[in-house]
Amino acid sequence: MDNTTRLQYLEAMGIDVWLPRVVPVQEQASVPDAIAENILPEPEPEPIDTWEALQAEVVPCTKCDLCKTRTQTVFGSGNKNADWMIIGEGPGQNEDQQGLPFVGKAGLLLTEMLRAIGLDRDEVFIANVVKCRPPANRDPKPIEIETCKPYLLRQMALLKPKIIVVLGRVAAQALLNTDEPISKLRGKIHALNDEPVIVVYHPAYLLRSLLDKRKAWADLKLALQTYKNIKG
């Protein structure tokens, strides 16, 4: 019995016959060929960011109006392998003059706050949400924050901190994308990507409002405990 006749018999008996589909040779070869002939684009490699490249962009930046009144940009400073990242709002007068973050009176208090939880300033990395001083120390405007924030996010991506301490309402709201008041944001553990974020009253505010120092101390202890829990 030849094959065709056999199939006819089987079909007549109600038996489904499944024949393997023969895939034409060109069809099988089509995808690799397309890649070889550059018909399909190869995936773009991720550009590699570096601290040097980032700083070279920030130093001459004129992306928002704050560039018109600043003396110089304040990139941030500290240990680029730090587990701790401290984020403030923006440079004040002293910072604008020296090109370094938290070097005025609020900076002295910040140094003391860090010391209180056993941290030296050169063990942490300190940066601000905006890199240029707002005139007369006004709050940075939302457009200025949005324009400058990518620099901060790149700093975070480069540093890969284990914990982030955010100082004050403006920085906390900017970083956590919220309108909640600082009284609601402090005292808990937030997360950004996979990193814990603790909101603490800004040292400049604490200099004016001694009553909230106790809450700031509680928040610093929360930050330290959170960090210890991560380190195990």
**H/E stretch holding 85:** strand 84-88
Please choose, from the candidates 140, 136, 196, 216, the residue with its C-alpha nearest in 3D space to the C-alpha of residue 173. 140
Determine if 101 is a binding residue for ligand URA (CB under 6 A).
yes
Two tokens at 14? 């109600």
Of 60-68, 90-98, 114-122, 147-155, the window that binds ligand URA (rule: CB under 6 A) is: 90-98
**Do 52 and 158 form a contact (C-beta atoms < 8 A)?**
no
User: Taking contact as CB under 6 A, which single stretch among the options 47-55, 95-103, 155-163, 214-222 is the one that binds ligand URA?
Assistant: 95-103
Shortest distance (Å) from residue 30 CB to ligand SF4: 48
Q: Looking at beta carbons only, is 58 or 216 nearer to ligand SF4?
A: 58
Query: Which parts of 123-162 interact with ligand URA (CB under 6 A)?
Result: 128
136: left (phi over 0), alpha (psi -120 to 50) or beta: left
Is 201 a binder of ligand URA (CB under 6 A)? Answer: no
DSSP annotation string for 156-207: HHHH--SEEEEESHHHHHHHHT----HHHHTTSEEEETTEEEEEE--HHHHH
Note whether 204 binds ligand URA by CB under 6 A: yes
Mark the segment that binds ligand SF4 (CB under 6 A) among 105-113, 144-152, 166-174, 176-184. Answer: 144-152
Query: Could you say which of 89, 131, 164, 200 contacts ligand SF4 (CB under 6 A)?
Result: 131
Q: Tell me if 106 contacts ligand URA by CB under 6 A.
A: yes
Q: Which is nearer to ligand SF4, 28 or 69 (CB)?
A: 69
Which of positions 28-87 make contact with ligand SF4 (CB under 6 A)? 58, 61-64, 66-67, 73
Nearer to ligand SF4, 133 or 202 (CB): 133
- Among candidates 226, 172, 165, which has minimal Cα distance to 198? 165
Helix (H) or strand (E) holding 77: strand 77-78
DSSP 46: P
Quick one: 214 exposed, middle or buried, by C-beta within 10 A (0-12, 13-18, 19+)? Answer: exposed
Q: Tell me whether residue 96 or residue 161 sits nearer to ligand URA (CB atom).
A: 96
Contact status, residue 81 vs residue 56, Cβ threshold 8 Å: no
Which residues of this protein are in contact with ligand URA, per CB under 6 A?
Answer: 88-92, 95, 101-102, 106-107, 128, 204
Which residues of this protein are in contact with ligand SF4, per CB under 6 A?
Answer: 58, 61-64, 66-67, 73, 130-132, 144, 147-148
